Homo-oligomer: A and B are copies of this chain.
């Protein structure tokens, strides 16, 4: 007999399938592993797509999908797809059900759970807060200033530094020229000395304010470099040096503030700038051609 007496059971639900895939992923050949990764990362695509469309999206041949399904004991791709569909069927979507799901994972029963819940809740509150406190016109102006800048100087220290370092990463990907200010103390001022009024700066500082950041912002403002800033109080020393500034108070949990809302804000600003830049560039090009 070629067949082993007891074959591994064919997974009957998504969880079992996921477990099976993770267990066997190491021993899978290249393309099948590719499908394995895709299927766990894009389960919805598998549920709704056709074999052809999924194959294209996962950069595989349709036949590979069939083989993949058969490797896990299914008759063909279609029967594997049923698992992915059932997953969506069972999950009752909607707001109320999501809350139930949240309490099903009741973190608060365990010691650290309430901390986790607390920070998630605080982040939600922070997001609600910026949605209503950020003035859309101010946002538009900020985007405008920064999109027109030659080089964007990112000023942030300590608690704000993760925000600017993320923006730096994103700007790099988006091909927007920037300078990250806030690393080695000595170099910073030399860097800023090169800024002209064709550049712009984005400064972030939360209480307790790093005096350096405020000083650097003031320095730039004096030299007519437009400054946009993000801070947590109207009394922030940054405000007076800034053409546009945003007040963003992160909700706290037990006195600790995360940066969830600031991150969302930073990302929105970054992408909005990049998008506007592209539009400006296209306009220039059209002008030159016309």
Interface members, chain A 143-166 (any B CB < 8 Å)? 143, 158-159, 161-163, 165-166
Hey, which chain B residues are within 8 Å of A177, CB to CB? none
How distant is A114 from chain B, measured CB to nearest CB, in Å? 9
The segment out of A4-12, A52-60, A121-129 that lies at the interface is A121-129
Inter-chain contact A105/B131, CB cutoff 8 Å:
yes
Hey, which chain B residues are within 8 Å of A26, CB to CB? 240
In terms of DSSP, what is the predominant structure of the interface of chain A? Answer: helix
How distant is A116 from chain B, measured CB to nearest CB, in Å? 4
User: Would you give the 0/1 interface string for A151-192, flagging 1 where the beta carbon is closer than 8 Å to chain B?
Assistant: 000000011011101100110000000000000000000000
Inter-chain contact A263/B258, CB cutoff 8 Å:
yes
Inter-chain contact B233/A116, CB cutoff 8 Å:
no
User: Would you give the 0/1 interface string for A93-107, flagging 1 where the beta carbon is closer than 8 Å to chain B?
Assistant: 111001101101111
Inter-chain contact A271/B254, CB cutoff 8 Å:
yes
A275 is an interface residue with CB less than 8 A from chain B: yes
A31 is an interface residue with CB less than 8 A from chain B: no
Inter-chain contact B113/A136, CB cutoff 8 Å:
yes
A135 is an interface residue with CB less than 8 A from chain B: yes
Inter-chain contact A110/B140, CB cutoff 8 Å:
yes
Hey, which chain B residues are within 8 Å of A105, CB to CB? 131-136
A266 is an interface residue with CB less than 8 A from chain B: yes
A120 contact from B131, B162, B249, B254, Cβ within 8 A = B131
Hey, which chain B residues are within 8 Å of A88, CB to CB? 44, 47, 88, 93
Inter-chain contact A85/B131, CB cutoff 8 Å:
no
A87 is an interface residue with CB less than 8 A from chain B: yes
Could you name 16 residue pairs across A and B whose Cβ atoms are closer than 8 Å? A33-B235, A40-B235, A44-B88, A44-B89, A48-B85, A91-B93, A107-B134, A110-B140, A119-B271, A120-B127, A159-B169, A162-B163, A162-B263, A165-B165, A254-B271, A260-B260
